[in-house]
Structure 1
Amino acid sequence: MINQGKKRDVWTTITLGILIIYGLVLIYPLFILFKESFVSGDRGTFSLEHFYKFFEKKYYYGALFNSLKVTVAVTISTVILATPLAYIMTTFKIKGKLFLQILILISSMAPPFIGAYSWILLMGRNGVVTNFMKDIFHINTPDIYGFTGILLVLTLQLTPLVYMYLMGALKGVDSSLLEAAESMGYTGINKMLRVVLPLIVPTLLAGSLLVFMRALADFGTPMLIGEGFKTMPVLIFNEFISEMGGDDGFAAAISVIVVVLALFVFLVQKYISNRKSFSMNALRPIKAKQEKGFKNVLAHIYVYGFIGLAILPQVYVIYTAFLKTSGRIFVKGYSLDSFRVAFDRAGDALVNTFTLGLIALFFVVLIAILIGYVTVRRRNILTNGLDIMSMVPYIVPGSVLGIALLLGFNNKPLMLSGTATIIIIAFVIRRLPYTIRSSAAIIHQINPSIEEASASLGASNLKTFFKVTLPMMLPGVISGAILSWVTIISELSTSILLYTAHTKTMTISIYTEVIRGNYGIAAALATILIFITIISLLIFFKLTGRKEVSL
């Protein structure tokens, strides 16, 4: 009995320690943000003036409606595109399927603003496609700027996320259900809508929530191609970092409104998911069949067409990185000059990306392993609280977290603003959920009797964890860690608020060069980032032995 008590004490201490860390680096800054939003700028007393200001002017509350318009439209578009894509890739034999899976992943892992920048080069006012259609066919193509461009970029960027969720869910559907549906006369689209779709609704809702949150939080895309179409992250950035002197209180109030909106959507999704949730265990998983005729042609056109559009921004960015430039203009011929200038200007940013990213990844893995274990194996009030707290970064947009950290750590003794530490903290907080999710999932698959057997042989609690449980967790941990790494190196919305000249990362350098109009240098830097992403994914496949990523 004494030994059991010691075991509980060890994990209780670890849980309390992690809760304290979360309280310091997440809850405290968010509390300061919330407090600042209700403080009068002049008098320093309780006031609702910042909220009145927001809802009094259309310029401000219009950004809220714009964000809702974008997020709802992107969420619907991604669901409409991803559902048939996942269904076709699961049930049809598609030529080059493994290669296509990798392309889908690459298209989803690159930062959205790179896609925005690429579409400017393709369909901007002086874009390649724009000029081609005008010169050859005398047709004026639709404007890529504003709502249309944001919708296009984010839909192509985020559809693969829903696709990966659905691929995981479709593996749990028993093929006997499809056979039964076919025997009742349901085939093709009817089978997908009447049988498959109801089975994957909980997963579809989870994927939709992720898309909604990502679209709501995206800063780079609307900043580059939104022009007059302002969204909430852009408004927050402009109000906090203003040439006329930022208004911290007003920026905090806008941030609180965004968090309340995100929390509301999150709770609604959870409520619906809980009502519709059920478990599936496929004794005979769906196997892809070789279709013939028109149906097979249509399936290939849909898959190749979507993937071609989704990967086009990355392909064109890589292509332009090797073009000759004269000043800011691309000219005929090919050259490596853009790469040489890029390394001269942003060599430190590349080093910072790896240094800060790897340090953050170390803490992500360490904390995620511990959280994943205690929330699955040591369920109690403390671990339930930790489980809920670890989900908070899931609903807090990056720009909001950036402002919260700056407000929370801008005075002694917690003076962290302007340091590398505050960026590492932001990376860790924002990307922990990915590795926590995969770590917890793998622990659910480990039979507790294995750990009990170790304990019965006299092994201590921690020895059992490190010698028995942790080695079995590693595949899930590695999976989540690599996905966390890919998202860390593509982070922009938080780091754009926190960086200094000494802590600039690759994404900030790319964004800066795009804003300055140095498209050749931006393309070279983006190409380097894309290849880092590809290499990371190849390592993921090698270490896990998997040929795809499903969430």
Structure 2
Amino acid sequence: MNNKQSLQKQHTSKVRKPWFRTFFHYCSVKWNKLWNGHPPDYVLLTIASITALVMSVPIIYVIWRSLFAGSERWLKLLDTRIPGLLWNTLSLTFVVTALAVTMGVALAWFVNRCDLPGGKTWQWLLALPLVIPPYVGAMTYIIILGPRGWLWDVWGSQPWLQSIFENYPINIYSFWGLVFVLTMFTYPYVFLIASASLRKMNRNFEDAARSQGYSMQSIFWKISLPFLRPAIGAGAILIALYVLSDFGAISMLRYMTFTSAIYYQMGSFDSVAATVLSMVLILITIVVLWIEASTRKRTVHQTSNSYKPPELIKLGRWKTLVMGIVLAVFVLSVVLPVIVLVYWSSIGISMGAINSKFWQYTWNSILVCGLASLFSMLLALPLIYLKSRYRSVFTRMIDRLAYSGYALPGIIVALGIIFIFNNYIQLLYGSFILIAIAYIVRFLPQAMQSGEASLNLISPRIDEAARSLGHSSLKILFKITLPLIMPGVLAGGALVFVSSMKELPATLLLRPPGFDTLSVRIWVEAGEAVYHLAAPAALLVILVATLPLRWMLNK
């Protein structure tokens, strides 16, 4: 090699080396700038990224399959199925949300702002319908109001009652029957959130309005109600999303919405039509979320620093009427369903319903719900820690992807999981692990919300001090932060466990042969009118769900 070639080679190497160095240096600078000079541990970031991608699988699958369903399939469904399903779903969602919001706000006002006897006790009692799954409530009201139910037994023996009900028949298998059931068991979403807002409302604003000559009615509409707007919006969106995703009560009462139509399409092995219907349901959900977000921009804030607790309103001669309304709601949403379940459970126990099969169903439920709860707590930790301590565009995107499964009905989550595991991970297909994964996708945000609330109470300076001593973010999370937020993490795990116990459509689609849970047995036995077998399982689900609710209300 001559000197000229050697010089050219050296010159080329000098040019190429700085180019690669410049590129990696540029990437390093941008990466550090993204995290304000303190990038997180790569293990935490990898776990959070994979979790977010898994959580977004169902919605990605539905969008992908529906886009390639073909115009003929879309046009056929648009001409036949979709218009009727759209009307049924939207009308049911609107009516139930409106009635439940009205009932929840009224009850919250009665309990927290009026001199109602036993006010604090009612705070707990009126929240109990939240632990009763609507499909259990539907089963109990089929027993009471069905064609040969308890009410028929009463009026069948009384000719004058029989003539009244012949002229004004009660049909639980109808739109209004379903509205009644869903309203009775979803109003606590608004009741609890509105109650918390009412307890924090500053009396100074009402006193100022009263000094200007406002009546109590005007104060409610112009002062109190605007302050309750965020609480009403939050409760309304929870109710609307629940109604859009409900399957158990809707199928028991023989009503057809998108969720039930998707399930029956899967039962007929038409997964393409199921994904098309799922895509429409996702679009409806997005529209509902957009409407709520757009109305949330107009909010009223309390700016006074001199806080005074709200003053109780004297009901006077209205006390009997208000007490009657509260008692009627409690009886219809709690007392009657529990009486029905206890009655049929006693019959079932006397007939041997509590046998080895019952305990097997119980163990199956505890197994999959326990796995979902445990892994939800573990996976939520990196997500909430990165969101709180390493704020960036990247962590915001991860957070939104992690929440995507929470806004989807369980049946759509199950569709995505079936597709992925049936085509790419067949080793786990047909195992109960898929049920636990579906629960994690559906309810991981509950664990995130609870853990994040606790983490926000911990000063970031603790992390900064540990980082200055050379500790990595992974070590800080598990050695320092986790012990401090453990109560919130455990509370989130309890919420995931309870929600998983009540989840029905995902369990129905993903359960392997011979693997039934309590929710599945309730649905199957109630569908066949074998109530003495369904009631003990339903009562056990309610008892398990009551414990964390009582713990949360005591906080």
TM-score bin, normalised by smaller chain = 0.7 to 0.9
CA–CA separation in structure 1 for the residues paired with 2:42 and 2:337: 47
Aligned to 1:27: 56
CA–CA separation in structure 2 for the residues paired with 1:286 and 1:450: 34
| 1:271–1:290 CA distance, 2 compared to 1 (3 A) | closer
Q: How far off its partner does 1:194 sit?
A: 1.8
- Residues 100-143 of structure 1 show CA distances to partners (whole Å, capped at 9, x for unaligned) of 33333331122110000000011111111233234332221421
Q: How far off its partner does 1:248 sit?
A: 0.9
In the alignment, is the contact (CA less than 8 A) between 2:344 and 2:535 conserved in 1? yes
Alignment of 1:13-412 (within 5 A): 13-23=43-53, 25-39=54-68, 47-57=70-80, 59-136=81-158, 137-138=161-162, 139-140=164-165, 141-225=169-253, 227=254, 229-242=255-268, 246-276=269-299, 278=301, 283-284=306-307, 286-287=309-310, 289=312, 291=314, 293-324=316-347, 336-338=349-351, 340-412=352-424
The residue matched to 2:423 in structure 1 has which SS?
Answer: coil
| 1:357–1:336 CA distance, 2 compared to 1 (3 A) | same
Aligned to 2:432: 420
Q: TM-score, normalised by structure 1?
A: 0.87
Q: How far off its partner does 1:454 sit?
A: 4.5
| 1:391–1:402 CA distance, 2 compared to 1 (3 A) | same
Matched residue type, 1:484: V
Q: How far off its partner does 1:274 sit?
A: 2.9
| 1:277–1:505 CA distance, 2 compared to 1 (3 A) | farther
| 1:102–1:190 CA distance, 2 compared to 1 (3 A) | same
| 1:454–1:174 CA distance, 2 compared to 1 (3 A) | farther
RMSD: 2.7
CA–CA separation in structure 1 for the residues paired with 2:540 and 2:157: 33
Q: How far off its partner does 1:381 sit?
A: 1.6
CA–CA separation in structure 2 for the residues paired with 1:73 and 1:97: 29
In the alignment, is the contact (CA less than 8 A) between 1:93 and 1:288 conserved in 2? no
Matched residue type, 2:290: L
CA–CA separation in structure 1 for the residues paired with 2:440 and 2:181: 27
In the alignment, is the contact (CA less than 8 A) between 1:317 and 1:526 conserved in 2? no
CA–CA separation in structure 2 for the residues paired with 1:342 and 1:50: 48
Q: How far off its partner does 1:442 sit?
A: 2.6
- Residues 244-299 of structure 1 show CA distances to partners (whole Å, capped at 9, x for unaligned) of xx211111111111011101211221122134375778753534637352243333
CA–CA separation in structure 2 for the residues paired with 1:281 and 1:430: 40
Matched residue type, 1:528: L
CA–CA separation in structure 2 for the residues paired with 1:285 and 1:109: 33
Which stretch shows the higher mean deviation, 279-288 or 518-527?
Answer: 279-288
Which stretch shows the higher mean deviation, 462-471 or 440-449?
Answer: 462-471
| 1:168–1:467 CA distance, 2 compared to 1 (3 A) | farther
Aligned to 2:3: none
Matched-pair identity in %: 25
In the alignment, is the contact (CA less than 8 A) between 1:423 and 1:498 conserved in 2? yes
Structure 1, unmatched stretches of 5+, are: 41-46, 325-334
CA–CA separation in structure 1 for the residues paired with 2:149 and 2:75: 42
The residue matched to 1:63 in structure 2 has which SS?
Answer: helix
Among 532, 536, 554, the alignment partner of 1:547 is: 554
Which stretch shows the higher mean deviation, 470-479 or 229-238?
Answer: 470-479
CA–CA separation in structure 1 for the residues paired with 2:538 and 2:340: 7
Structure 2, unmatched stretches of 5+, are: 1-31
Matched residue type, 1:537: L
CA–CA separation in structure 1 for the residues paired with 2:444 and 2:492: 9
Aligned to 1:331: none
